[in-house]
A and B are shown apart, each in its own frame.
Chain A
C-alpha cells in the first residue's frame, strides 16, 4: 500500500510532533538522525515524513503530494488555501496581537495608521473587519523596531510571552487571534484513505490528551 506522507513544519512544531509520535509508539529513529535526507520513513507505520518550511507544508498538502500536514494557525491565516483543517494539537500555542508603544492610544484620532508586520494578509483582514483603512508595511526581521524608529504606529505580530515587547517599551493593544499547531489534510486523500487518516488523527488527538492510543 502507498504510504501516508506527512509534512511537518521544521523547528519547534517538528520537535513537538515527533515527541507526540513517540508517545504513539512510532519508531522515530530516522527523524532524530535525519542527516541530509528530506523524506524520512517511520517503519512499521507505513508513514513517510517530509520536513518543510511552514508555508510549503500548505502548498504540499493543497497539491496532494503530501496527505497530512502539521502547521501553525498563523501560517494558515496568512497563506490560506483549500484543505481540511481537522485537529488542533494545542502545542505551539501563542497569539497574533496588535502592539505598539506603551501608553499610546492606537484608535485615537482620524489620521491614517501605519502598521508594520510580517503577516500582511492577517493584518489586512483584521482591519477590514473593523472597516479601517490602514497603511501596511511588510517587514522581514524584528518588527518591534518599526514603532521605535517611527516607521509605524503599531505592529501585528506573533506574541508568546510578551517579554520582547516589554523590554522595548511596547505593549499589546489588542489580541488579533489565538494560534496553535493544526493538522491539515488534503481533500482527496481524506476521501481515498479515509480509514488510515482518521485512525492516525484520532490517535494523535488521543496521545495529545494523554489517552491510550488505539
Chain B
C-alpha cells in the first residue's frame, strides 16, 4: 500500500515564510478595517453537522463537501462556507441580540474541486455579515466596505461589480417555468452562454420577458447599462428593482471608489440564498473573483422570524498572492544574535533577549557552540552578534566577526 506520509492532500498546501507573512499581513489589514467599522469577530467550528448546510432549500451541493461521521454515525462536513454557521449562531446564542449585528470571521473553507484543475480545496476567507439591516444604507455600507478592503490592500486597479438577483427572479417568475428550466436559464446567463440561451428561450416565443432574459447577460458595464436596461425592463416587474440598483450605483459613483464600480445584470450566483443585491470584486492577474457577496434576507432567523442580512467574503489566499507579486515581503532575519560563551552567562543571555525585544529589536538565541556563531550569523544575514561571558559582554558586527 502506498504511504502518503510526505505529501499534503490534493488542493491543500503548506505556506512558508514570505507566503505566511503575506497572509498574516493581509488578514491584519482586513481585520483592522472590519474592527474599525464596528464589526466583532466570531469563530465557528471547522466541523459542522451536514444539516447546517441543508437548511430549508439553501443547500450547498453535497458532492462538493468533505464529509465524515461522528462517533454516533451522524454525517458531518468540514465547513464549506462561513455564512450558514453564522445563521446557526443567530438562531441560537444570538437569538435575543439587539440588531443590527456586525460580525466578521476569518477562517478557512473547504470544498472538493475537480481534480487536477489547479484549484484549491482549502481557501482562507475573511468576511463580514451585517445582520438585521436592510435598504439602501445597509447595501451601500457593505459594497463600499468591499471596495475599502481592496483599496486598503493596495490592489488598485480593482473592480467592484454589482447586480441584483431580483431582476432575474422577476423575469423568470413571469415565464411560469419549473425549477429545472429556471436553473438551466440561470446557468446559461451565469456563464454568458449567449448562443445556448438564445436557443433555449426560443420555446417561450416572443414574450417580452424572454426577450429581456436573452439580453440580461449582455447588460454589463457602466452607466450606459442602466439606459439600455430601463428601456428593456419597462413594464416588467423588474423595473422597480432596476431603479433601486441604479440609485445604489449612483451613490457609489459619488464616492472615492466610484471609478472602480461597474454593474452586471447577469450576475446570478449559484448559491441560491441571495435575495437582493449581489456583488463581486476583481483584481488584475487573478482569473476569478477575489471577493463575493450579497443580500440574503431569507436565511437568518431569530426566534423563528427571518432577519434581513447582507455579507461578503474575501479570498485571502488570492489577495495575499497578489500583494506578494506586487511588492514581495522579504523574509525577516533577527537584528542580533545572542551567544553565551559559557553556562554561567546563560541567565544574562535570556535577560538580554527580552531587553532587545523591549527596545523593539528582534533577537535570536544561539543554541550551539560559540565558535560556530559567526558562520551562522553570516548564513542567516544577522548583522550583529553579542558574545556573553560571565560578567562581561562583547558586541561584534557580523562583518567584523566573519573576518
Chain A residues within 8 Å of B, Cβ to Cβ: 59, 62-65, 80-88, 182, 185-188, 190-192, 194
CB distance from B69 to the nearest CB of A (A): 27
A59 touches B287 (CB 8 A): no
Give A88's nearest chain B residue, CB to CB.
B195
- Closest residue of chain B to A89 (Cβ to Cβ) is B195
**15 A-B pairs (CB sep. < 8 Å):** A62-B117, A63-B118, A63-B287, A64-B285, A85-B192, A86-B193, A87-B194, A182-B195, A186-B287, A187-B287, A188-B286, A190-B192, A191-B220, A192-B284, A194-B221
C-alpha gap A191/B263 in the complex (Å): 10
Total residues of chain B contacting the partner, CB 8 A: 22
A43 to B348, CA, bound (A): 70
A214–B313 Cα gap in the complex (Å)? 41
Known: A81-B114, A84-B191. 10 other contacts (CB 8 A): A59-B117, A64-B288, A84-B192, A86-B192, A86-B193, A87-B194, A187-B289, A188-B288, A191-B161, A191-B262
CA distance A80 to B159 in the complex (A): 26
Closest-by-CB residue of A relative to B264 is A191
Smallest CB separation, A125 vs chain B (Å)? 13
Q: B89 CB to closest chain A CB, in angstroms?
A: 31
The verdict on B196 contacting chain A, using a C-beta distance below 8 Å, is yes
Determine the chain B residues whose CB is within 8 A of the CB of A85 once the complex forms: 191-196
Most buried by A among B193, B220, B289: B193
Q: Which of B355-369 contact A (CB under 8 A)?
A: none
Give Cα A108–Cα B286 distance, bound, in whole angstroms: 51
Confirm or deny: B226 has a beta carbon within 8 angstroms of a beta carbon on chain A.
no
**Chain B residues within an 8 Å CB radius of A82:** 191, 288
Q: Does B279 contact A (CB under 8 A)?
A: no
Assembly CA distance A84 to B161 (angstroms): 16
B282 touches A192 (CB 8 A): yes
With the chains together, A140 CA to B117 CA distance in Å? 21
Please indicate the chain A residues that have their CB under 8 angstroms from the CB of B287 in the complex.
Answer: 62-65, 186-188
- Encode contact with A along B131-173: 1 for CB under 8 Å, 0 otherwise: 0000000000000000000000000000101000000000000
**Chain B neighbourhood of A186, CB < 8 A:** 287
Contact indicator A191/B193 (Cβ below 8 Å): no
A194 to B159 Cα, complex, angstroms: 12
Q: How distant is the Cα of A17 from the Cα of B264 in the complex, in angstroms?
A: 29
Give min CB distance, B402 to chain A, whole Å. 44
- With A64-B287, A87-B195 given, is the CB distance from A191 to B117 under 8 Å? no
**B220 and A194: CB pair below 8 A?**
yes
In whole angstroms, what is the CA distance A59 to B159 when docked?
A: 23
Contact in complex: A188, B289 (CB < 8 Å)? yes
Nearest CB on B from A95, distance (A): 15
CA distance A52 to B262 in the complex (A): 33
Query: CA–CA, A189 to B145, complex, Å?
Result: 24
* A194-B221 Cα distance, complex, nearest whole Å: 7
Chain A residues with Cβ below 8 Å from B159 are 191-192
Say yes or no: B282 contacts A191, CB within 8 Å. Answer: yes
Across the interface, which residues of B come within 8 angstroms of A62, CB to CB? 117, 287-288
A158–B346 Cα distance when bound, in Å, is 78
CB-defined contacts of B284 to chain A, threshold 8 Å: 192
Residue of B nearest to A185 (CB): B192
- Chain B residues near A65: list those with CB within 8 A: 287
Interfacial chain A residues near B193, Cβ < 8 Å: 84-86
Task: Produce 1/0 per residue, B167-206, CB < 8 A to A.
Answer: 0000000000000000000000001111110000000000
